[in-house]
Amino acid sequence: MFCFQCQETAGNSGCTVKGVCGKSSEVARMQDLLMYATKGLSEVTTKLRAEGKEVSKEINHHITLNLFTTITNANFDFDVFVNRVYQTLDIKKDLLEKLDNKENLGEAVLWDERDLEKMDEKSRKVGVLATENEDVRSLRELVIYGLKGLSAYSKHANVLGFDNEEVDIFLQEAMYKTTLALSVDELIALVLDTGAAGVKGMELLDNANTSTYGNPEITEVNIGVKNNPGILISGHDLCDLKQLLEQTKGTGVDVYTHSEMLPANYYPELKKYDNLVGNYGNAWWKQKEEFESFNGPILMTTNCIVPPKDSYKDKIYTTGSAGFPGCKHIEGSTGREKDFTEIIEHAKKCQPPTQIEEGSIVGGFAHNQVISLADKIVEAVKAGDIKKFVVMAGCDGRHKSRNYYTDFAKALPNDTVILTAGCAKYKYNKLNLGDIGGIPRVLDAGQCNDSYSLAVIAMKLQEVFGLDDINELPIVYNIAWYEQKAVIVLLALLALGVKNIHLGPTLPAFLSPNVVNVLVENFGIAGIGTVEDDIELLIK
Ligand code: FSO
Ligand code: SF4
């Protein structure tokens, strides 16, 4: 196996024996094969469209889900990947019959093999290292990881009945293009186009979420526990949460959010449920201890599974793109009702959660809420009470080096405000950093995809202050990344013209030195230094 798609990749170079995330080499190779099959299918859909033929929404969703299922920590189940390869080959076979011009079809289109041994053999030849030139490999993978992140966001919109066909068409064309002999310049253009598609994908999801659940509003979220048995819901899928809340109503079982599900508490249509009682625990990587003390069952709706300990493995349920061998998977395809009876009955037999924290945290500062406070914010900036906004969105992770972000937040002067989204917030959202004239110093917009909100806020402030360039705003970017959704957020920010983003705790291993140079020269991308140096550089 060879995988270097996330920030925790072995030695910041590549996982080759087993994933640091816990992914086995068999699963890693089958994921590579699924990507290969998906590139083949994407070539066919792209060529069909060029012939003026329709590609169904179901096929778009299938491709999106293929990519989403391979993101870090989403799915560890070998059989799931084998089945998705089979299904992808079936769809491709059907579509090929509709294609008139079958000349010059790529190798990935022509490949069709259902024998497991031969599939494994093939998987060894089509992974990341199949591209020999390191710059081309770097750019191709940068595009693919961006598309994986984009797929996660599209999938969340799809389950709510929202689609943007333009985004699907782009994604499939881009997947196909990663198989072509494009020049470095053409690949760089494709990277930027991927970022632009990322903006559209996040806009789509923002629209889907806010029109379904209302605009997030300032909300105090309980981080303690109550006396009823509970279900902990993790991941990012608000539609799963909504269904779980409906089905637990009146059962005596409480629902708690975990990690990236915390922002669900900010939506009017979700927070109205009395059985949504708070958030339990912290970012994804602390789940081994926190799932144990939760006592009740846990529903993983998307990525961010840490291979469970035997002591609580029987309490883990997965659904959607998530999966782990031996854990119960709750079925339900895009937009369909799911039946959570089994997990609810399971919860009833469990002890209430053990309290690990108490009090509350405040969030809900997505664009609509912040823009309604715009006057107050602009006044505070004009009066010099707020000198800088620091975007510290992104991810949290296991490495000690990430304590940098807690220290950085603590070291920020009192006239700065942190704008955050994603699980990175857990590094400083319980520090009690106070407020500036009633504006909290940590404004949480929501999940990683809600980084879109931060861009909307920046654009609004640019308009209010009458600036020509978004980079003239008193906003600096110190972003933490872990997996591929953060890659699309980064590319989206670049597409919006944001410059001088600092990215840590390490730059991606998949960026070759030459590609890093391109990013440094054109966008001012930089890594992180010491807290003192970075405060000096970014704030003073
Ligand atoms: Fe991932 Fe990052 Fe949103 Fe966290 S981008 S790691 S759990 O912020 O979640 O999906
Ligand atoms: Fe390694 Fe990350 Fe890939 Fe897992 S996802 S195998 S940790 S690079």
Q: What is the ipTM of this complex?
A: 0.95
Distance (angstroms) between ligand 2 centre and the Cα of 190 equals: 24
Per-residue pLDDT, 334: 63
Ligand that comes closest to the CA of residue 263: 1
- Give the pLDDT confidence of 145-174 residue by residue, as tens digits: 999 999 999 999 999 999 999 999 999 999
Mutate to test the pocket of ligand 2, among 35, 72, 303, 395 (most ligand atoms within 8 A of CB): 72
Distance (angstroms) between ligand 1 centre and the Cα of 394 equals: 7
Q: How far is CA 468 from the centre of its chain?
A: 31
Ligand that comes closest to the CA of residue 17: 2
Give the nearest ligand 2 atom to 73 CA.
5
Residues in contact with ligand 1 by the CB-under-6-Å rule are 236, 259-260, 284, 303-304, 394-395, 422-423, 447-448, 482-483, 485-486
Give the nearest ligand 2 atom to 10 CA.
1
Distance (angstroms) between ligand 1 centre and the Cα of 485 equals: 7
Mutate to test the pocket of ligand 2, among 13, 20, 511 (most ligand atoms within 8 A of CB): 20
Report the length, in residues, of the chain.
Answer: 540
Ligand that comes closest to the CA of residue 27: 2
Is residue 3 within 8 Å of residue 19, measured between CB atoms?
A: yes
Give the nearest ligand 2 atom to 5 CA.
8
Distance (angstroms) between ligand 2 centre and the Cα of 73 equals: 8
Distance (angstroms) between ligand 1 centre and the Cα of 181 equals: 32
Distance (angstroms) between ligand 2 centre and the Cα of 113 equals: 26
* pLDDT tens-digit profile, the chain (540 residues): 999 999 999 999 999 999 999 999 999 999 999 999 999 999 999 999 999 999 999 999 999 999 999 999 999 999 999 999 999 999 999 999 999 999 999 999 999 999 999 999 999 999 999 999 999 999 999 999 999 999 999 999 999 999 999 999 999 999 999 999 999 999 999 999 999 999 999 999 999 999 999 999 999 999 999 999 999 999 999 999 999 999 999 999 999 999 999 999 999 999 999 999 999 999 999 999 999 999 999 999 999 999 999 999 999 999 999 999 999 999 987 667 999 999 999 999 999 999 999 999 999 999 999 999 999 999 999 999 999 999 999 999 999 999 999 999 999 999 999 999 999 999 999 999 999 999 999 999 999 999 999 999 999 999 999 999 999 999 999 999 999 999 999 999 999 999 999 999 999 999 999 999 999 999 999 999 999 999 999 998
Per-residue pLDDT, 156: 97
Q: Is 401 helix (H, G, I), strand (E, B) or coil?
A: helix
Q: How is residue 438 written in tokens?
A: 């009633």
Residue 497 DSSP symbol: T
Distance (angstroms) between ligand 1 centre and the Cα of 95 equals: 35
Give the nearest ligand 1 atom to 424 CA.
8
Answering whether pTM is above 0.90, one says yes
Ligand that comes closest to the CA of residue 7: 2
Is residue 75 within 8 Å of residue 62, measured between CB atoms?
A: no
Per-residue pLDDT, 335: 62
Give the nearest ligand 2 atom to 15 CA.
1
Distance (angstroms) between ligand 2 centre and the Cα of 488 equals: 17
Q: How far apart are CA 504 and CA 394, in angstroms?
A: 10
Is residue 234 within 8 Å of residue 285, measured between CB atoms?
A: no
Give the nearest ligand 2 atom to 18 CA.
6
Is residue 475 within 8 Å of residue 501, measured between CB atoms?
A: no
Q: Of all protein residues, whose CA lies closest to atom 6 belonging to ligand 2?
A: 19
Distance (angstroms) between ligand 1 centre and the Cα of 113 equals: 34
Distance (angstroms) between ligand 1 centre and the Cα of 53 equals: 37
Distance (angstroms) between ligand 2 centre and the Cα of 21 equals: 6
Q: Of all protein residues, whose CA lies closest to atom 5 belonging to ligand 2?
A: 72
Q: Of all protein residues, whose CA lies closest to atom 3 belonging to ligand 1?
A: 448
Per-residue pLDDT, 332: 87
Task: Please spell the DSSP secondary structure of 62-89, one letter per residue.
Answer: HHHHHHHHTSTTTB--HHHHHHHHHHHH
Parallel, antiparallel, or unpaired: how do β-strands 435-436 and 439-440 relate? antiparallel
Ligand that comes closest to the CA of residue 75: 2
Give the nearest ligand 1 atom to 302 CA.
10
Is residue 141 within 8 Å of residue 70, measured between CB atoms?
A: no
Nearest to 505 by CA among 423, 397, 418: 397
Nearest to 381 by CA among 266, 460, 496: 460
Distance (angstroms) between ligand 1 centre and the Cα of 419 equals: 16
Mutate to test the pocket of ligand 2, among 7, 17, 21, 25 (most ligand atoms within 8 A of CB): 21
Bond from prior residue into 513 cis (ω within 30 degrees of 0)? no
Q: Of all protein residues, whose CA lies closest to atom 2 belonging to ligand 1?
A: 395
Mutate to test the pocket of ligand 2, among 2, 7, 15 (most ligand atoms within 8 A of CB): 15
Number of neighbours of residue 288 by Cβ within 10 angstroms: 13
Parallel, antiparallel, or unpaired: how do β-strands 360-363 and 219-222 relate? antiparallel
Q: Of all protein residues, whose CA lies closest to atom 6 belonging to ligand 1?
A: 395
Residues in contact with ligand 2 by the CB-under-6-Å rule are 3-6, 8-9, 15, 19-21, 23, 28, 72
- Give the pLDDT confidence of 297-356 residue by residue, as tens digits: 999 999 999 999 999 999 999 999 999 999 999 998 766 799 999 999 999 999 999 999
Distance (angstroms) between ligand 2 centre and the Cα of 10 equals: 8
Q: How far is CA 392 from the centre of its chain?
A: 15
Q: Which residues pair with 475 in a beta bridge?
A: 389
Q: Of all protein residues, whose CA lies closest to atom 3 belonging to ligand 2?
A: 3
Per-residue pLDDT, 364: 98
